Structure 1
């Protein structure tokens, strides 16, 4: 069987350029590998899951469409459908230019610009063709699950019953959109991709920078038995940046993999790739204290705290589950070894059978009884086929029941190991990471630098002799020379004229916001000149 790859793209703001570079190389290498006559069927690699948060949500959505229906759009290192929106077509002055449909009281930057950009790369193909030509990418599976992390500002209510009476009601704001996209004409339509485009825009609607987005949801998407909010068949919810609550949706990728392989029988061929502009390291700081916690440093630290808290949880949970699974697998194989070594295991087998017969009905009491027990037995036989077939026939079933008791008691039946591969960078290697990663928007050369760093990181990953995906049959394309003087670029080292232009545009936006809030010209100007302006100059290092 082919190797399966589930990819998670994290939030990144302007550093979506870095992630675009990584993904171009990954997709291009897998295409070459799969098309090579030297690649065996079992060595092929297909992408069947894409999840993203914030900027990564737009990247994942564009990737899903192009992989399934528009393969040629992913060709060419410096004109593909990831490079163009993340490197060439976006810049801070366009983002600060107010357009028809923008409101200065709803966003600092132009949300209309992002809307137009998303339409150019996701839905324009349906405006020029009633039935656009379709080309399936060699790196794509026949079906791809797409998952977007969302932040539902309205919230949805759930409840848990409490003992001996009453209930605990909680409102969930972390939300998700999951959709299976098939290689079929019915999934290559405006009706499918316009809602996905809108959801991807909402996924990256960074608070205050971009306006909140209304997304149409459906009742069938909220199927938890604990749901108590009355959801209509179709209902609008208001969303902001999905990275607020879930900036690295590895857990969602695992959920989607479980839809593909619910019995966990193909775990040997399953890989998870995590793509992020930042590696996992400490972001602790002792600089902020009660005396210096003015609005600006306090706000910056608060944003960092929220986003980093949202980022680590899926990774840590995955590693915790992996550790528990490793221990379970170890115990299962140890028990198999004991049974194989015993000259006469009959008495031992009887003890195992007696214990299992007593415990399994209790453990599966609320999980379907005998039918579920038999299904779980079948799953473990497939999962541990080597160990199962290596045991004498008279002890196999007792061994399966014994490890089923261990698995069920630890509530591990719904879990399997996640082999997480990662292509990450360090802030010191990137040009656009300052100012909460907005600085990449200040200049094309910063975004181009970070895109090429992403390409370089991906090529190093793929060419490493120890790469878990194996040796790929591909020839990496040449990367433009990287200007390392831009590594770890700080705001005060950037072109002052660009920062002054940004200041001027932001001043205009803030004055409009103050007037919309009811201030007259004099009041708005005074508020900006004496309060907002100095803080803004401090922020922009002017």
Structure 2
């Protein structure tokens, strides 16, 4: 059976992880439906009588998840997804009556369990506990601890998950890993030194029990008691470390084998030149070997680069402890990690007529650029203006990857796709895009924590956007008459039932017929099934007066602890405490004013 391999990339999202979770929920539901029908299981529940349903027919090819990567909130969704890959969870749809828990950790963790009330609680500052962040991060530990036990379940191994599944977690390594570039010249004995901070941890689920996991990946073996093992516990800690938003949420301590950095391979441009054999995603040479199509020009190669220090320099058997902050600081869209793992070091065919694999990025915040009229040269050019923007500028530059942007934007590249938030007008006859698309984008992307209604809306929007993407965008050309036919979907053309899944597709500025890589069966194809809740303009669970009191209570705990942490002289310390007492009301009012203004800009008007 032909296989189209998929790498899932889950970008940073702060509070909009609910959107990413909704996308994954629908994706798993669609893939489960196909495998159930293929296995001959009774899926009569997929028939609801909607006018735009499809037949329950499995295509003669399979979509397979072959790699995953995540950062920040995307890493937390990646962790939950990894934990449930061998068990069945109920999808949360408009037909579901949400309660305290739904049995779906994607929804429970991101919609029901995370809330501003928990983040503003003060139990993290009891006794002599040090101040680690503005918000309380302890609720996140409880959420991850509740999600990991799903890895203990192996009652429903998914056939569409690769036997050896690499999973990457991006973290911001505050300690850093030193490298040295040897240079010729006087005084160059130590070389030119550089430090790595854009770090990651590599894991792998191996259905064979971990015997074939590469040495640079940490094995994750699902099964009874798995979540309590060192590998899964480190996996959970890496997930929390990736989401440790600087200052806002607590940094995390990780401890790994320093030898991991000696086994890590880097892509080095111009390391290999000339003509080399091209390989497919599984690492096998393409045939026929005498055809020009089987050769390609290599612009580089993978190489291991040893760090400046050896593992023995750290003692303790080479264990390397380091403090982490949000992985999105340096790598908010970890696409390349996933692509390399999926391709096994090769390059995926990009032409839609030959594509056999693709990375699929889920990014809730693709449009954070300031509008042109927001530029104020006087404010930006001042001392305070430069100091205030420098941190954000450094983060934005570290995330700028023009080569990835160019490939994703090219309609004739079928090896990279993206699912981005899109909210349409509720009238099906009026397909206008509505702005903003997601409700969690306010308050510098922390807005989703303020209301369950915001998170529920974005979760359902993720499901709806995934449905539309799978139906209209994640397709391959299937037009035999036009001569545009991908061999993966070609076998389905011999089955007349494929006709209901055909759609128009633009290829080389022409319109040709195409078939979906993941066809939607029964009600999953219906617009009624993913009907959206109304825009949560007036959420019932958000009272700004009550929120103001909770902000004040948190600040009353944080401010004295922060002053003590600064270790100021006694007189200065007393003065700082007095200044906070005098300015407390103004500070709280300013915080609440910023929240009101930001929510209002998104059409959100809480009490």
TM-score, normalising length: structure 1: 0.72
Residue among 230, 245, 261 paired with 2:330: 245
Residue among 506, 523, 527 paired with 2:554: 506
Map 1:34-433 onto structure 2 (within 5 A). 34-37=35-38, 38-42=57-61, 44-67=62-85, 69=86, 71-73=87-89, 75-77=91-93, 79=102, 80-99=104-123, 103=129, 105-123=131-149, 132-163=153-184, 166=188, 167-184=191-208, 187-188=221-222, 189=226, 190-223=229-262, 224-231=304-311, 232=314, 233-259=318-344, 262=346, 268-280=355-367, 282-283=369-370, 286-291=374-379, 301-302=389-390, 304-313=392-401, 316-319=402-405, 419-425=415-421, 428-433=436-441
CA RMSD of aligned residues (A): 3.4
Unaligned stretches of 5+ residues in structure 2: 39-56, 211-220, 263-303, 423-434, 477-515, 597-607
CA distance in 2, matches of 1:321, 1:245: 21
**SS of equivalent to 1:140:** coil
Deviations 1:293-320 (A, max 9, x none): 899987875564344334332xx22356
Return the offset for 1:94: 0.6
Q: Does 1:482 align with 2:565?
A: no
Check whether the contact 1:34–1:45 (CA below 8 A) recurs between aligned residues: no
| Matched length | 436
> Judging changes above 3 Å, is the alpha-carbon distance between structure 1 residues 500 and 155 closer, same or farther for their aligned structure 2 residues?
same
CA distance in 2, matches of 1:533, 1:226: 54
Return the offset for 1:251: 1.2
CA distance in 2, matches of 1:156, 1:451: 38
**SS of equivalent to 1:180:** strand
CA distance in 1, matches of 2:60, 2:258: 41
> Judging changes above 3 Å, is the alpha-carbon distance between structure 1 residues 76 and 483 closer, same or farther for their aligned structure 2 residues?
closer
Return the offset for 1:506: 3.3
Check whether the contact 2:63–2:518 (CA below 8 A) recurs between aligned residues: no
Check whether the contact 2:253–2:324 (CA below 8 A) recurs between aligned residues: yes
Return the offset for 1:466: 6.6
Paired position in structure 1 for 2:266? none
> Judging changes above 3 Å, is the alpha-carbon distance between structure 1 residues 295 and 242 closer, same or farther for their aligned structure 2 residues?
farther
Check whether the contact 1:123–1:194 (CA below 8 A) recurs between aligned residues: no
CA distance in 1, matches of 2:115, 2:386: 27
TM-score, normalising length: structure 2: 0.64
Unaligned stretches of 5+ residues in structure 1: 127-131, 327-416
> Judging changes above 3 Å, is the alpha-carbon distance between structure 1 residues 200 and 104 closer, same or farther for their aligned structure 2 residues?
same
> Judging changes above 3 Å, is the alpha-carbon distance between structure 1 residues 118 and 34 closer, same or farther for their aligned structure 2 residues?
same
CA distance in 2, matches of 1:101, 1:529: 19
CA distance in 1, matches of 2:324, 2:151: 26
Check whether the contact 1:7–1:273 (CA below 8 A) recurs between aligned residues: yes
CA distance in 2, matches of 1:536, 1:164: 58
Return the offset for 1:104: 5.5
Paired position in structure 2 for 1:453? 461
In terms of fraction of residues, the more helix-rich structure is 1
Paired position in structure 2 for 1:496? 544
